[in-house]
Amino acid sequence: MSILAANKYDRVPVKAIIEAKASPPRPAAAPAVLHLTVDEESAGQRLDNYLIRHLKGVPKTHVYRIIRSGEVRLNKGRAAADARVAAGDVVRVPPVRQAARPDPAPAAPAREFPLLLEDDWLLAIDKPAGVAVHGGSGVSFGVIEQLRRARPQARLLELVHRLDRETSGVLLVAKKRSALKALQEQFRARSTGKTYLAVVRGDWPERIKVIDAPLHKYLIEGGERRVKTVAAEHPDAMRAVTLVRVRERVGGYSLLEVTIKTGRTHQIRVHLAAQGHPIVGDDKYGDFAHNRLLHKRGLKRMFLHAWRLQFEHPASGERIELLAPLPADLPWPLPEVPPA
């Protein structure tokens, strides 16, 4: 066949192309009634929180609306938002349209961390500095995402409490929801014992054993968070109590055991700095010029370490004490810095 003949059969009139009708899009699948069976790990949750966790992409206002209207049924009966679900309960959810999920973020790399304790209820790790405990605020992933990736068979892994990214030391992770609730209640009731090791510049005064100074969070230019001490009558004051014990003084520095009775953001860092003795290596509240000198001599980070954690085991009630020794990147005594 000639080229001319081939073109004869390949050509389609322009008008036919313009008038051609596109195939109609397939209708999206209509949402259907859901019947959710509560598992043991979800037992004890409020009904509203249980639904919010399962109905990803559904606005919270809509979740509360279908509960109030009676469209949500708990074991075939109406239930209030604050009703507690139990293992084996069946929750009927009316048809709801869930928002399309955005493209997933890159998966966190699987990683295990040094273990201090593990049983069927919880695990305790020695978190290294420089690792966030969870993703968010510009951080793609943290300890909890990496642990979940490393342990895909785990039914539940949840942070019991938090540590600053720059702080190393003992971190608790719950493996059962009942353990999570019991441990977090101990933190709220301040019945746990959280003691840190910190090094400050200068000789810490023996007379300062208790720091009871309210704190206030604020944002600096660029949106970064900072904390400062304020008067008790300040409208946004949050009470903060820190106990300080001198363990050792060497070479113009003091190694302190610091126990917090409240868990405020940057509490230890701000309280110690407010007494004129900032933590060495602290890049937010410290002595920046002195930090640079220490950096040249091997101290590459803030000298703050979650050394000891005491709590009651959520199953046995036994009082547990966990200790994380100082890591290699926190040398004590510190290298000497020649006077300026």
* Residues with catalytic roles: 164
Query: In a 3-state reduction of DSSP, which class is residue 84?
Result: strand
Asked whether the beta carbons of 35 and 94 are under 8 A apart, the reply is no
Query: In a 3-state reduction of DSSP, which class is residue 257?
Result: strand
From residue 162, how far is each of 8, 69, 168, 187 by CA, in Å? 74, 38, 11, 11
Of 277, 289, 269, the C-alpha closest to 200 is 277
Of 191, 233, 240, 178, the C-alpha closest to 215 is 240
| Token duo for residue 138 | 């510009």
| CA gap 81, 126 in Å, rounded | 38
Number of helices (H), then strands (E), in the chain: 8, 15
| Token duo for residue 207 | 């007379």
| CA gap 109, 101 in Å, rounded | 22
